[in-house]
Each structure stands twice: as C-alpha cells, then as structure tokens.
C-alpha cells in the first residue's frame, strides 16, 4: 500500500511532468472503470480538454486540480493503486484502469491489480469522498507541533500501531511505516497509547517525523537513480517491516511478526518496550 513517502514522490513527480498540460483524451478499461465513483463515460468526457493546474497530497489521497474546471480529481490508491508515467508508444501495463493522454505523447496511467482503489471527480471532497472530512493533520505538516500531537494522542487509548494508522489522528501513515516509526521510537506496537510517559510521547513524535522525512528523501533518491519506475515500490531500506526471520539491526534479537487484524506487524521483543 502506498503511504506518505511514496505518495509524496508521486505528487512531486506528477506535478513536475503534468502541471500546465492539457488532457487530450481519457481512455477507460470498461472492466475496471467501476473503481471510478462517478459515471465513467461522464468522467472521461468532463476531463477531456481540461488543463492540470497542480497535484497535491492530503494524507493518503492525491488531488488533481484544474485551471479551467471547478472539480477535483481525488485518488485514494488503497492497497494496490499506482500511477505510471509512460510514452504513448510504450507497451501496455497490466491492470491499467484508465489513462489520461497528455500532449507530447505522454500518458498518465492508473493501475490497480487489486481493484480496491477509489477515484472521485468532485467539487466538494469533504462531502463526496468517504473519510476525507475526518482526516487529521498530515504527519509531516508543520502545524502538527509536538504539543498538538500530544493533545491529539491523549484522546486515543488504543494500541499504538492502530493509533498511528488512524487517519483521523494523523494522516499519511499505514501499516509499513507505522512499524518503522515504532521501531525508531523503541515502542512495542501492541502497547496502549495511554501507557506512555512524556519522554515516550516525545520519542514517538520525533520518530514519526524523522522516519517519514528520511523515507521521503530515500524514496526520491531511489527514483532519481533509476532503481524503480514510478509505479513500483522499493522498500529495501526499511529496518524492521518485512524482515521476518532476521535479527534486529539494533540489538540482535530475533524479529517477531504477529497478525492482529490480519495484517503483519513486525517488531523486536528485545528493544521495543
């Protein structure tokens, strides 16, 4: 699932290549168009001829605005949604749901192998996009100071990993980066948020900011170096998530994996308290 660092790379890259570009044609795969929460033929008709102004990110949503259109294209990638930039002559990509054809033979292709993504065309995301109005501040937003983070955290008494993934608490963090943040903070994922002392709350806040900033930088560097195309995720730099049957890079203890709620949670029993 793309999370804040991958979506920040998408925002920056799509903005760079598409700002000021006009959509010449929208191509739909009729078997996959149901992910568009808008009549698909009207979606294609209304976007054709529109000029992209910019691409923004709000938590785990990407938002396209247009210079000559009052609606927004809001994308919730969910588990498998990905964007690809490609030449129009490039081979077809599996799982392409729709393509925005721009000038200079450039395509923006949206892919989803799971068909769980949701696409909206709306003038009012707060009304038309589920959970959008309830989003908390972005995990890297400057307005989310430590004091504000602490105030919000005191309202949540559940397990730390669930709290971090709660988009109403802070937005942008999913399963993988929650593991990384808690490892950096030396806090166990199943520990309750209400049990933290002031020093541990500070450690959690600092770990969230540092982990995500480092991941944004690393992900951008990997893409710039050509290590993966835009629609592929490369998370080999992660310290704990996905490291089953290996040892902790900090203390050498065997990494544990549990599946509360069905998704894998990775942590170290030796140094996460």
Q: Are residues 42 and 152 in the same domain?
A: no
Pick from 95, 128, 161: which residue ends a domain? 128
Q: Are residues 122 and 220 in the same domain?
A: no
CA distance 75 to 98: 12
**Count of domains for the chain:** 2
Pick from 96, 128, 160: which residue ends a domain? 128
Query: Domain holding 258: CATH number?
Result: 1.10.8.50
- Residue 1's pLDDT is what? 86
- Residue 140 in any domain: the answer is no
- Residue 173's pLDDT is what? 98
- Residue 136 in any domain: the answer is no
* Of 200, 181, 194, 197, residue with least CA distance to 153: 194
- Residue 138 in any domain: the answer is no
Q: Are residues 111 and 167 in the same domain?
A: no
Q: Are residues 156 and 230 in the same domain?
A: yes
Q: Are residues 112 and 221 in the same domain?
A: no
- Residue 236 in any domain: the answer is yes
Pick from 102, 128, 154: which residue ends a domain? 128
- Residue 38 in any domain: the answer is yes
CA distance 178 to 161: 6
Q: Are residues 61 and 120 in the same domain?
A: yes
- Residue 165 in any domain: the answer is yes
- Residue 54's pLDDT is what? 96
CA distance 148 to 131: 21
CA triplet 35, 222, 19: central angle to 5 degrees? Answer: 55
- Residue 228's pLDDT is what? 87
Q: Are residues 156 and 199 in the same domain?
A: yes
Query: Domain holding 104: CATH number?
Result: 3.20.190.10
- Residue 135's pLDDT is what? 98
- Residue 227's pLDDT is what? 87
- Give the helix/strand (H/E) hosting 112: strand 106-112
Residue pair 266/243 in contact (Cβ under 8 Å)? The answer is yes
Q: Are residues 79 and 159 in the same domain?
A: no
- Residue 191 in any domain: the answer is yes
- Residue 59's pLDDT is what? 96
Tens digit of pLDDT at every position of the chain (273 positions): 899 999 999 999 999 999 999 999 999 999 999 999 999 999 999 999 999 999 999 999 999 999 989 999 999 999 999 999 999 999 999 999 999 999 999 999 999 999 999 999 999 999 999 999 999 999 999 999 999 999 999 999 899 999 999 999 999 999 999 999 999 999 999 999 999 999 999 999 999 999 999 999 999 999 999 988 999 989 999 999 999 889 999 999 999 999 988 899 999 999 999
Range of the domain at 155: 146-268
- Residue 243 in any domain: the answer is yes
- Would you tell me how many other CB atoms lie within 10 Å of the CB of residue 251? 12
């Amino acid at each position: 699932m793309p999370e804040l660092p991958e979506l920040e790379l998408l925002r920056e890259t799509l903005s760079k290549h598409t700002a000021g570009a006009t959509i010449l044609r929208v191509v739909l795969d009729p078997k996959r168009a149901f992910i568009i929460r808008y009549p698909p033929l009207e979606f294609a008709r209304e976007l054709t001829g529109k000029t992209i102004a910019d691409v923004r990110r709000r938590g785990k949503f990407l938002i396209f605005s247009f210079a000559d259109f009052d609606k927004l294209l809001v994308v919730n990638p969910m588990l498998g949604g990905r964007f690809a930039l490609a030449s129009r002559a490039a081979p077809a990509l599996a799982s392409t749901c729709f393509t925005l054809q721009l000038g200079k033979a450039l395509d923006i292709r949206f892919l989803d192998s799971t068909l769980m993504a949701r696409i909206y065309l709306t003038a009012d995301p707060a009304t038309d996009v589920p959970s959008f109005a309830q989003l908390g501040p972005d995990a890297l937003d400057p307005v989310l100071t430590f004091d504000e983070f602490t105030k919000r955290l005191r309202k949540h008494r559940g397990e730390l990993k669930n709290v971090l993934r709660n988009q109403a608490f802070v937005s942008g963090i999913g399963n993988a980066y929650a593991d990384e943040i808690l490892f950096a903070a030396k806090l166990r994922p199943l520990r309750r948020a209400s049990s933290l002392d002031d020093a541990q709350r500070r450690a959690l806040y600092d770990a969230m900011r540092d982990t995500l900033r480092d991941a944004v930088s690393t992900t951008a560097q990997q893409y710039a170096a050509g290590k993966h195309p835009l629609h592929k995720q490369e998370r080999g730099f992660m310290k704990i998530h996905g490291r089953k049957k290996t040892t902790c890079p900090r203390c050498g203890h065997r990494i544990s994996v549990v599946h509360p709620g069905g998704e894998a949670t990775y942590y170290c029993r030796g140094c996460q308290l």
